[in-house]
Amino acid sequence: MGDWDIGEDWMSRMQGIGEKTLGPVAIHGGLQMKRREQNRAAFKNSKEWGLITQAHASAVNALVNFLSRIAGKPIPADREDVQGQAALIAHFVQGIDLCETAIVEGFYPQAATLLRQQHEIIAAVEEFTVGRRKDGKTPHATIGVLRDMGRTYGDLSGGAHVSHANLLKNFVIMAIGEHDGPSLLPIYHHEITLNFYALHVSYILMMAQLAGEVENSVTGDTLNPDEVKLLFVGRQILMDLGLIRFEEPPNPQEAPAKGCATD
């Protein structure tokens, strides 16, 4: 039936109600998958891709290896704080791939929502640590390792809320002939992708640090030297790329500390 593209009356080229019922959604889905692949390829062709994906891999490897090592170790029944933290950490890990996909493939409002959720999960883990966690309440956005990231959280909230029309329009606008209009397919913006990706890696680094601290409070175990080195590599790459800053230089002999994405 030939090629299909946005801007056509797809049903006019179809025969029968069955084809018209299933055809448009299949066409749009195919076009969207093609665009997602193109967006991922554009990121892969950028000069930062090799290093920043290495930072992501280093951070994820350290976190999941540590969690695998401690999996199955019992949590005392009277440590409801640690039980809550363990559930939050698992929730965080399960969402890593989904967040990475949203960022790289150009789903920026959805990525902002997922990044904000990562921020809030980290904040909730910190609130459990200091005995301030309240069930059903949004955690404080600038607690613990997040203390300098209030502006970042505010920006994520703006990108995630449909009430911020101008910001959302920047995510989806594209040139259509001589005019600008919203696209039905995700559009790749390199700077947004790069900054969101760096923030995503930063949150993984923070969660790995916190996971080590939580386990240490129960069993005395913590990140091993290999895991610490991987976290150091991830942070150092972000610093070298100018995508993150630290109050103090990181030390490869210590678990990572307080970092925040650059504005």
Residue-wise pLDDT for 81-128, tens only, equals 999 999 999 999 999 999 999 999 999 989 999 999 999 999 999 999
Residue 214: both structure tokens together:
């939580």
Phi-psi region of 79 (alpha: psi -120 to 50; beta: other; left: phi over 0): beta
Q: How far is it, in rounded angstroms, from Cα 173 to Cα 180? A: 6
The tens digit of pLDDT for each residue in 57-87 reads 999 999 999 999 999 888 888 999 999 999 9
User: What residue ranges do the domains of the chain occupy?
Assistant: 1-44, 46-261
Pairing mode of beta strands 173-176, 259-261? unpaired
Q: What residues does 57 pair with on adjacent strands?
A: none
The predicted model scores a pTM of: 0.84
What values do phi and psi take at 246, rounded to 5? -125, 150
Higher pLDDT, 199 or 13: 199
Task: Give the three-class secondary structure for 184.
Answer: coil
Q: How far is it, in rounded angstroms, from Cα 226 to Cα 212? A: 13
Residue 189: both structure tokens together:
């913006």
Q: What is the mean pLDDT of the chain?
A: 85
| Residue whose C-alpha is closest to residue 230's, from 89, 26, 66, 31 | 66
- Looking at residue 180, its pLDDT comes to 57
| Residue whose C-alpha is closest to residue 122's, from 244, 221, 205 | 205
Residue 196: both structure tokens together:
């969101």
Q: What residues does 244 pair with on adjacent strands?
A: 261
The tens digit of pLDDT for each residue in 6-44 reads 777 888 888 888 888 888 888 888 999 999 999 999 999
Q: How far is it, in rounded angstroms, from Cα 31 to Cα 39? A: 12
Contact assessment for residue 239 and residue 247, using Cβ atoms and an 8 Å cutoff: no
Helices within the chain (DSSP H only): 16-44, 49-70, 80-94, 96-104, 108-129, 150-160, 165-172, 190-219, 225-240
Residue 143: both structure tokens together:
């607690």
Q: What residue type is assigned to position 26 of the chain?
A: A
pLDDT at 164 over 50: no
Mean pLDDT computed over 166-185: 56
Q: How far is it, in rounded angstroms, from Cα 106 to Cα 95? A: 17
